[in-house]
Amino acid sequence: MSNTRLFRRSRLRLCLWYAGVMGVILSISGLGAYRALIRANWVAMEREIESIAGTLHDSVEPLLPPSADPTTVLRQLFPELCLNQHRCNRKPTVIQRHTMGISDRDTYYIRLFNHRGKLLAFSPNQPPNLSPTFNPEPWQTISTTQGIRYRQFTIMLHSADANPNPETQRSSWGYLQIGRTLAPLDAENVRIQRILVSWLPLVLGLVIASSWWLSGLAMQPIYQSYRQQQQFTADAAHELRTPLASLLATVEAILRVTFSNPQDTHTMLRQIERQGRRLSHLIADLLQLTSLEQHSSSETFQPCCLNDLISDLSEEFLELATDSDIQLTYDIPKPLIYVLGNEPQLYRLVSNLIDNAIRYTPAGNSINVSLEKSDHTAVIQVTDTGIGIAPTEQAHIFDRFYRVNRDRSRHTGGSGLGLAIARAIATAHHGSLQVQSELGVGSTFTIRLPLRG
């Protein structure tokens, strides 16, 4: 229960880290996109103001005389404008509207100043209470008492008959100031902000849900590894407890009981030796399995002839098979088959399979070891006609200390690490180990190893 709580807390912390990091990334990305969009709209608006100002400037400047009554000139050029300190006509005619040349009269306004900064004329739709004081800054942002913002641009006007020599500075006739309301732009910014604010909780909710799911996926291998390690520790403790208990009991018996017959003492010592060897083999198997799974072996792979390896193993196990009344045969092709590997490990791999086949094949049956080449793979098969393995057990027989029948080691021996070591060796050689079995019919273990390139 405590372990489950530990993993849940770890998953929760991992989820919060995922959600926090993703939330920060999305927030920064959203803020950056918002700023980029606002900036793009702002630049487009300023370019539009500059374009209109430039059009008016290029149309008006050639018509400006150096010396003339400004009022007369402005009435001729801009009949729609309101002259400063004159009555303003707020209902222009069609001809006057055509003469004005501004596309959107509700959005834009213009003002004209002389070269001393005195206001000469202005459009009727200019912001209310706009200061008549001239500001020479090219760009300005102003706000009215109602909170409406305006952006205006100022450009210099020159008289028509000024010195045409480009090296001589032209005289200033006055200034043209064009502005527009920022209400549509501000409304668009508010709309974007509302969209971001309304979508942010939904996005964060999705991030939290996906973070919880991803943290679960990330914790699964760790949890499985922990459970396997826990199971391994329990199995190893169980396997070590039995020989240790037997060893200690035998030693205590020798210490407490005085044997009159030396043969009894010798028997007890032989029992201690057997238990010690069993412990030694078990520890050696565990160390080898750990080394294989961690790929910590420092030995390099060399070309290994599988024909000789299978032949030697078959001859080695022939006497054991004969004593068990089992017929052991082997099929080895004449062409030599080489793989890159560690010969002692490959020897252990195949010998574990043959040894298992002999242990769990009843007397009077047969075992066959075959070697063949298939495409770029060497295939070794160990086939027996023994007791077989149930389909539900086949997925677990390569686990450490796993036995189909928990008490069968009393009769067959072994520590339950043979097949785990065999698969680890096959994996270390970039190969595979598979099993096909049927209860009461027999089993076939197939090793596939890549051929030497």
- On average, the pLDDT of the chain sits at 80
What is the DSSP annotation of 315-353?
HHHHHHHHHTT-EEEEE--SS--EEEE-HHHHHHHHHHH
- Please name the residue ranges forming H helices in 61-110: 70-77, 94-100
Mean pLDDT of the 345-366 span: 90
Asked if residue 250 lies in contact with residue 275, where contact means CB atoms within 8 angstroms, the answer is yes
pLDDT value, residue 404: 64
Determine which helix (DSSP H) or strand (DSSP E) holds 168, and give its type and residue range: none
pLDDT value, residue 80: 72
pLDDT value, residue 36: 92
Looking at 162-210, which runs of residues are DSSP E strands?
A: 172-181
According to CATH, where is 3.30.450 located in the chain?
2-160+171-190
pLDDT value, residue 327: 92
Confidence band, pLDDT 50/70/90 cuts, at residue 99: very low
Strand 149-158 relative to strand 172-181, pairing: antiparallel
Return d(Cα 441, Cα 330) in angstroms, integer: 19
pLDDT value, residue 299: 63
DSSP 383: E
Return d(Cα 395, Cα 334) in angstroms, integer: 35
Mean pLDDT of the 287-315 span: 79
pLDDT value, residue 201: 85
**Tell me: domain 299-450, CATH 3.30.565.10, correct?**
yes
Return d(Cα 142, Cα 150) in angstroms, integer: 5
pLDDT at 380 over 90: yes
Asked if residue 80 lies in contact with residue 96, where contact means CB atoms within 8 angstroms, the answer is yes
Q: Give the rounded percent of residues in the chain with a pLDDT score beyond 70.
A: 81
Rg of the chain over CA atoms, in angstroms?
Answer: 47
Return d(Cα 394, Cα 250) in angstroms, integer: 38
According to CATH, where is 3.30.565.10 located in the chain?
299-450
- Looking at residue 283, its amino acid is I
Return d(Cα 325, Cα 12) in angstroms, integer: 60
pLDDT value, residue 235: 66
Cα 115 to chain centroid, rounded: 65
Phi, psi angle pair for 210, to nearest 5°: -65, -35
Length of the chain: 453
Determine which helix (DSSP H) or strand (DSSP E) holds 304, and give its type and residue range: strand 302-305
Closest CA to 415 of 425, 401, 404, 398: 401
Q: Give the rounded percent of residues in the chain with a pLDDT score beyond 90.
A: 19
pLDDT at 102 over 50: no
Return d(Cα 352, Cα 426) in angstroms, integer: 12
pLDDT tens digits for 313-355? 989 999 999 988 999 998 999 889 999 988 988 998 999 899 9
Asked if residue 379 lies in contact with residue 371, where contact means CB atoms within 8 angstroms, the answer is yes
- Looking at residue 280, its amino acid is S
Angle at 405 (CA atoms; ends 404, 407), nearest 5 degrees: 145
More reliable by pLDDT, 16 or 266: 16
pLDDT tens digits for 115-141? 888 888 888 888 887 888 888 899 999
pLDDT tens digits for 384-443? 998 888 888 887 888 777 666 544 444 455 567 788 888 888 988 889 999 999 888 899
Q: Which CATH class is domain 2-160+171-190?
A: alpha beta
pLDDT tens digits for 156-184? 888 765 455 554 455 678 888 999 989 88
